[in-house]
Chain A
Amino acid sequence: MTPRTLFEKIWDAHVVAPESADTPAVLYIDLHLVHEVTSPQAFSELRSRGLKLRRPDRTLATLDHSTPTLPPQANGERPYANAEAKAQVAQLEANCREFGVQLYGWDSSDRGIVHVIGPELGATQPGMTIVCGDSHTSTHGAFGALAFGIGTTEVGHVMATQCLLQRKPKTFAIHVDGTLPRGVGAKDLILHIIGEIGVDGGTGYVIEYRGEAIEALSMEERMTVCNMSIEAGARAGLIAPDETTFAWLKGRSRVPQGAAWEAAVQRWHNLRTDVGATYDREVRIDASQIRPTVTYGTHPGMAIAMDKPVPAARNAVEQRALDYMHAKANQPMQGTAVDVVFIGSCTNSRLSDLREAANVLRGRRVATGVRVLVVPGSEAVRRDAEKEGLHEVFLAAGAEWRIPGCSMCIAMNGDLAQPGQLVVSTSNRNFEGRQGKGARTVLASPATAAASAIAGAIADPRQYLTEVAA
């Protein structure tokens, strides 16, 4: 048999009808994740055509984007940004009741950001096809699933048929050799990768991350890497499942149990690229050369080690980006004054991310005038963090400890920065206005975000880690 890549194995296993010159493949979707922002028009489409949702058992919904991260007021009302946001949430609640979809809503102890709870519940499993009306669906690729974001029309297609019409994308291997230096993490790695291949370097491709440095990552770190595949233009990013994956998933509520688990693991062992399989494109990255990395412009490809000088603009658009950021060519980002720090989002809101930030903040105070928002990715993360006392570390340092949601990553729930403010953010997009009109976003790791909160300026977290060790 011809050697195949991991992507090709998953693709082949889900073809309902093969592609031809005239028509795309009909691809079966194992798991459909739904949230309040990109689903209402799709439910309306089903209703207007008199269609049922084909597989409610393969559909899972939650509330995350429009939801407030402050608790209900004394009268029990949640502090929505506006009446439309409240109505949007109510619409998803009503749609889920009508179409029989399980909603991890306000009353659920498992509610959270859709890309955090899918894996937590064990709904995300190796070898699956997973879609959601959300570009960061690529996160689930960390488990060796083919996972990608879709538009609302396609959300309707999956609801009605559990399938999508898809052309086969090209394959792109990113080999990460060596070992990440101490104090340098998955966020630094993926920002470095996007900086290397460019914000459109992955367009048309599915990326497979592989190599020694990838295998050494924890599941949370792998999710951070795969999450940002779309920031390089790739709809999906994949990592072959291994013992780390299986150990992380074992016993979760939606994974097979007992003998069925053993059989599944047996099957999942085959989910790796065969020796001799070829990719359409390959790149090698040396992990040992990566340092704490941040963005300096207005897209995630404008990323650089924080102690390296910002490159001069090559054209008017890049100059405009530097001007918007108040960034100066030939000066490093390190030392830039900070107004707001956001620790959260589907990129970096898991327990390990919060621990990473807390390790830096423990026993220290946030600099005067800096606002710090810590938003756990899910109710489960919140529970676990509070059990460890991480919330006390954040509160003692002067940070705010919120309830789970997308919050300031997409800034549509009222959590946002003011015009001109500089935000060091553990999220995934530094587009103009992403965190509020005129707000300036610098993407960074949780450790860098925490260090910058203490210093009041973009700071290297390794100095604080050294102090702890000493």
Chain B
Amino acid sequence: MKPVTRIHSRTAVLPDENIDTDRIIPARFLTTTERAGLGKFCFNDWRYTQDGGNNPDFLLNKPEARGCSILVAGRNFGCGSSREHAPWALLDYGIQAVLCSEIADIFRGNALKNGLLAIVLEDAEHRWLLKNPGIELSIDVREQAIELPDGGRIRFTLEPFARHCLLNGVDQLGFLLQHSDAITHYETTHNKWQQEKAA
């Protein structure tokens, strides 16, 4: 993973609550065996009209949302399935951060492992951002702060290990593999299941 230290962009807002992973990427696009190139399916059934053109009512299709890489979404973003295709699609589409007052657990974990900042904010700050689309923000991962145009700051907290991995581009599998001896020790001392199978 490439390090992620700072993201600077105007915000695009999707105020709907409970935007589920089927809306982020419908299941019929999950027959792929790759992780690349899913951006074209991102928000597919919301974003396109019946004839395949851009739906002018979809907020991310509006001219002012073009080029925005920070998404402010309604509460409980990413609920539903465990498909990592959801953060893959968002990143490929150009979204680098999702700001929300609550983010579904599995989606949040998947997002952070791919360098997509999934940031949970206090209700009041979230409400304010929902009401002020297009605002220019700078997200500082090291300081765990969002800088506003007027110099104000919104504080947030990332899980410390996720933050460390983002800042340093740490490969979590590499980190886990360093525990090989401890895992082997666990298996030899706790492996009741194997003993039973042998019995």
- Are B82 and A133 neighbours in the complex by a CB distance under 8 Å? yes
- Are B33 and A199 neighbours in the complex by a CB distance under 8 Å? no
Contact partner, A410, options B27, B33, B74, Cβ 8 Å: B27
Residues from chain A with a CB closer than 8 A to the CB of B109 are 150-151, 154
B180 to chain A minimum Cβ distance, whole angstroms, is 7
Bound Cα distance A256, B199 (Å) = 8
B23 at interface, CB cutoff 8 A: yes
Residues from chain A with a CB closer than 8 A to the CB of B18 are 199-200, 299, 301, 317
Which B residue sits closest to A84, measured CB to CB? Answer: B31
Residues from chain B with a CB closer than 8 A to the CB of A312 are none
- Are B33 and A157 neighbours in the complex by a CB distance under 8 Å? no
Binary per-residue interface labels of chain B (85-119) against chain A in the complex, 1 for a CB within 8 Å, 0 otherwise: 00100000000000000101110011001100000
- Are B106 and A411 neighbours in the complex by a CB distance under 8 Å? no
A84 to chain B minimum Cβ distance, whole angstroms, is 4
Contact partner, B176, options A65, A66, A84, A160, Cβ 8 Å: A160
A152 at interface, CB cutoff 8 A: yes
A252 at interface, CB cutoff 8 A: no
A179 at interface, CB cutoff 8 A: no
- Are B22 and A429 neighbours in the complex by a CB distance under 8 Å? yes
Residues from chain B with a CB closer than 8 A to the CB of A66 are 31
- Are B84 and A40 neighbours in the complex by a CB distance under 8 Å? no
Residues from chain A with a CB closer than 8 A to the CB of B194 are 57
Residues from chain B with a CB closer than 8 A to the CB of A204 are 105
B124 at interface, CB cutoff 8 A: no
12 CB < 8 A contacts A-B:
A23-B161, A26-B183, A84-B32, A85-B31, A133-B84, A135-B80, A154-B109, A163-B179, A165-B172, A169-B105, A203-B105, A235-B106
Q: How many residues of A contact B (CB 8 A)?
A: 77
A11 at interface, CB cutoff 8 A: no
Number of A-B contacts (CB under 8 A): 184
A3 at interface, CB cutoff 8 A: no
Q: B residues touching A (Cβ–Cβ < 8 Å)?
A: 15-18, 20, 22-23, 26-28, 30-35, 45, 74-76, 79-84, 87, 102, 104-106, 109-110, 113-114, 159-161, 164, 172-173, 175-177, 179-180, 182-183, 186-187, 190, 192-194, 196-197, 199
- Are B196 and A260 neighbours in the complex by a CB distance under 8 Å? yes
A1 at interface, CB cutoff 8 A: no
* Given A200-B75, A433-B23, CB of A38 within 8 Å of CB of B105: no
Bound Cα distance A22, B167 (Å) = 14
Residues from chain B with a CB closer than 8 A to the CB of A84 are 31-32
Residues from chain A with a CB closer than 8 A to the CB of B179 are 16-17, 26, 161, 163
Contact partner, B186, options A28, A135, A429, Cβ 8 Å: A28
- Are A200 and B102 neighbours in the complex by a CB distance under 8 Å? yes
- Are A199 and B176 neighbours in the complex by a CB distance under 8 Å? no
Residues of A295-312 contacting chain B, CB below 8 A: 299, 301
Residues from chain B with a CB closer than 8 A to the CB of A28 are 183, 186-187, 190
Bound Cα distance A434, B109 (Å) = 23
Residues from chain B with a CB closer than 8 A to the CB of A91 are 33
- Are A135 and B106 neighbours in the complex by a CB distance under 8 Å? yes
A395 to chain B minimum Cβ distance, whole angstroms, is 28
Task: Give the one of B45, B82, B182, B199 with max A CB within 10 A.
Answer: B82
Residues of A127-186 contacting chain B, CB below 8 A: 128, 133-135, 137, 149-154, 156-157, 160-163, 165, 167, 169
- Are A16 and B182 neighbours in the complex by a CB distance under 8 Å? yes
Contact partner, B76, options A26, A167, A203, A431, Cβ 8 Å: A203
Residues from chain B with a CB closer than 8 A to the CB of A38 are 82-84
Contact partner, A200, options B22, B82, B104, B161, Cβ 8 Å: B104
- Are B106 and A412 neighbours in the complex by a CB distance under 8 Å? no
Residues from chain B with a CB closer than 8 A to the CB of A411 are 27-28
A368 at interface, CB cutoff 8 A: no
Residues from chain A with a CB closer than 8 A to the CB of B35 are 41, 152
Residues from chain A with a CB closer than 8 A to the CB of B34 are 40-41
A110 at interface, CB cutoff 8 A: no
Task: Give the one of A26, A82, A259, A315 with max B CB within 10 A.
Answer: A26
Bound Cα distance A314, B68 (Å) = 30
Bound Cα distance A312, B176 (Å) = 50
